[in-house]
Amino acid sequence: MTEVLVNWKRFPFIRLLLPFVIGLGLGLRQQESSITLIVWLLAPSLLVLYLLGLRRSKQVESVFFALLLFGLLGSLGWLNGVTASEQSRKDHYSRQLNEKIWSGTIEEVQQKTNYDQLKVALQSCSPDTVLQWQRISGRLLVFLPKADSILPVPGQVLVFKGNPFPVSTAKNPFAFDYAAYLASQQIHFQVYLKTGNYQLGVEQTGSALSRWRHHRLAQLQQIWPEPRHHAIFEAMVFGEKSNLPKELRQLYAEVGALHVLAVSGLHVGIILVLLQALLKRVPFLNRRRSFQGLAVLLGVWLYVGLAGAGPSVVRAGTMFSFILLGGLLQRNGNIYNSLAASAFFLLLLQPYWLYSPGFQLSYLAVFGIVHFQQLIYRLWIPSYRWLDYAWKLTTVSIAAQVLTFPISLYYFQQFPMHFWLSGLVIVPLAPLLIVLGGLGLLLQQTLPEAATYFAQGVAVFLDGVHFVLEKIQALPGSLVPVPDFDGVEVIGMYAAILVLMAWMKNKNSRWIYLLTSLLLSLQIWKCTKEWYRQNHPLLVIYTHHQGVLVDMIYQGHIWSRKDDGLPERSIPFIASPLRTKYKVKKVELLPTQSSMHLKHYWQIPGCFQFFQLRVGHYSRLPAIPVDILLIDAPIRETIADFQEMLVQREVRQLVLAAHLKSWERLEIQQFLEQTSVPVHDLAVAGAY
């Protein structure tokens, strides 16, 4: 079946990439596991099998060789994964957390409402008693107070006094796991600094290119003072997205054009085409194809540096570099091979990118465009040139979505239905906006007065573009929520796409039967999930430092209870991810101080029951049995009396609230360790 789909001999690097990715995935997931021994024994075992197979037929020999290659590349990927974490290094700062004074270079600055968020590459640390610097490594998340007048910039040295602590993981169901996101960037600790506890270096230690970039960013803010204007050029020309207003980011996301604001394949491709067009006019380079290609490569990587060398632009630069080199080394080079080679190279250097949504989406989009664009375009050949141009743009957008929409639904749980329409507006304008941003900088340097009028005209033009995007955003069905798209559906959709590709290749009706079966199975899976969620009651005790929130969910309805100390404005932040997953239609906030009897719920002060599960509050517990006892106040009894109370109340589970003071929690934890009832700590283990 595989041979029907692909002639693997034409794509050697795809054959190399697949086992490497499998091994890398295992290595990243199981960095401390007994699988170490299995993997290390795998490659030698396959080598022995290969040597034994040399005496056999050519067919057997090729099978042994394939197994050997698969094992070796899988082992290489696994080894790359298990050694990827910087925390395993002996000089990582996590081994020196007892130190008090730290020094490092600022890599990235994001301006927030109340603070500045920095990503700092640490280089040395020292005790606070006497300065004895020692070299360290690792990246740290640093928060500076906004009140301070000095704005840090990338490349500056930051010396500070503080105690780094681990980034907390997501504690409530389906909440965004910021700790996992930072871990993929090798950041595991954070520190909050107060005024007077840090000092910024006067001079930047970064490269001349990074300093030049910082000055150009400042100039863009002078040319276009309004954030809705200068933030667009900062993002599209230099890859700086920290100043994008929230409403502007939301606009581009909801019309499916957010990729335009991230310097990636689109922007690098534009620069590559512009460079090729310019260098063709240089007589010497025009006669020597290899020199022209190398000059284009140099220009592309110069732009990568100017754009801040972030992950997305480095990926795009590497991808296009391999495609260019493939064309230089072999005139009829295979683009699939070049893409696979670039992915192999990047994952070898940055293993954690394997689980990066940006990495996955960028490669899937390019593969989709390369494979599907012409197939879709040939479905209709317009007669008019302008219509043909619009159709080509539309087919590019559709082709990119063919392979990206399953994983986009998984990560973002929504789909912009009018992506093709926004693509007709913003994608053709992307080269123009990049040129306008560069031209504005040039005029600011040479003709400041002309730059003022130029900036005003460009601002009006940009407002017009945003006006059109807002109209697209306002169209019915612009953004379709898909809150429960899971991993099974992702695998099923990609299997269906592969089957569709097979049918397009040989038009065999068996593929249609298989495709129909896959889609039917996915629908059955989705209906089964929905039925289970609708007909199985769920009780959730959320964790929050200001109080307790309880949701009881059944058939799209939520009965909710909260402590008086928990502000209502905090509820969406705590509970929205789970409520969205369960497609809740109605939320009813119940009073907690009175008695109430409903169909599946009843309560008295200090206790409530949802279906067969009864929960009591320790602070006002009535004299009735409970299944779960919520410890929401300091324990007053002796251990013997408390144990007796647990037996009398038939308590099967203790839940320790997260809003208690630290010293109270410590005393309660030590007290509960002496009981025989299992304890769930909301502050540590998350929601119950």
Do you know the residue count of the chain? 688
**Residue 358 Cα distances to 302, 345, 363, angstroms:** 22, 16, 9
Q: How much is the pLDDT for 287? A: 62
Output the pLDDT for position 539: 94
Alpha helices by DSSP H, 307-384: 311-329, 335-349, 357-377
Whether the Cβ atoms of residue 220 and residue 234 lie closer than 8 Å to each other: yes
Angle between helices 12-29 and 35-53 (to 10 degrees): 150
3-class DSSP assignment, residue 84: coil
HEC secondary structure over 30-57? CCCCCHHHHHHHHHHHHHHHHHHHCCCC
- Per-residue model confidence as pLDDT tens digits over 298-320: 888 888 887 777 788 888 888 88
Write phi, then psi, for 616 (nearest 5 degrees).
-120, 145
Query: What is the spatial distance between Cα 425 and Cα 367, in angstroms, rounded to a whole number?
Result: 23
Output phi, psi for 227, to 5 deg.
-60, -35
For residues 477 and 491, membership in a common domain is answered with: no
On the 0-12 / 13-18 / 19+ scale of CB atoms within 10 A, 307 is buried
Looking at 39, 54, 84, which one is the last position of a domain? Answer: 84
- The 3-state DSSP class for residue 309 equals coil
Same domain, 267 and 329: yes
User: Is there a single domain that holds both residue 322 and residue 262?
Assistant: yes
Same domain, 598 and 639: yes
Domain that holds residue 227: 211-354+418-481
pLDDT along the chain (688 residues), means of 10: 52 83 83 52 59 60 73 83 82 82 87 84 85 88 78 84 89 89 89 87 66 82 89 86 86 87 79 78 66 82 80 85 78 76 90 89 89 88 86 88 91 89 87 88 88 91 92 89 89 92 85 92 92 90 91 91 87 90 86 85 90 90 90 86 88 90 83 86 90
Q: Are residues 557 and 494 in the same domain?
A: no
pLDDT the model gives residue 40: 53
Same domain, 248 and 328: yes
Cβ neighbours of residue 404 under 8 Å, at least 6 residues apart? 361, 364, 365, 368
Exposed / middle / buried, residue 165 (Cβ in 10 Å: 0-12, 13-18, 19+): exposed
Rounded CA gap, 404 and 365, in Å? 6
Please check whether residues 368 and 337 belong to one and the same domain.
no
Q: Answer yes or no: do 200 and 93 share one domain.
A: yes
Question: Are 458 and 325 part of one and the same domain?
Answer: yes
- Give the per-residue pLDDT at 494: 93
322 to each of 239, 298, 369, how far by Cα in Å? Answer: 22, 13, 17
Structure tokens at 491: 């695998």
What does the block give as tokens for 572? Answer: 């969406």
One domain for residues 597 and 632: yes
Query: Where is the domain boundary, 417, 433, 459?
Result: 417
Query: Are the C-beta atoms of 604 and 576 separated by less than 8 Å?
Result: no
What is residue 1's predicted lDDT score, i.e. its pLDDT? 42
Same structural domain, 71 and 93: no
Which of 412, 379, 411 is closest to 394 using CA atoms? 379
> Which of 417, 432, 462 is the last residue in one of the domains?
417
Same domain, 527 and 477: no
Q: Tell me which H or E stretch contains 442.
A: helix 419-446
Rounded CA gap, 177 and 42, in Å? 35
Q: Total domain count for the chain?
A: 6
Q: What is the pLDDT of residue 3?
A: 44
pLDDT exceeding 90 applies to what percent of the chain? Answer: 19
Longest dimension (CA), the chain: 94
- Residue matched to tokens 């997305």: 312
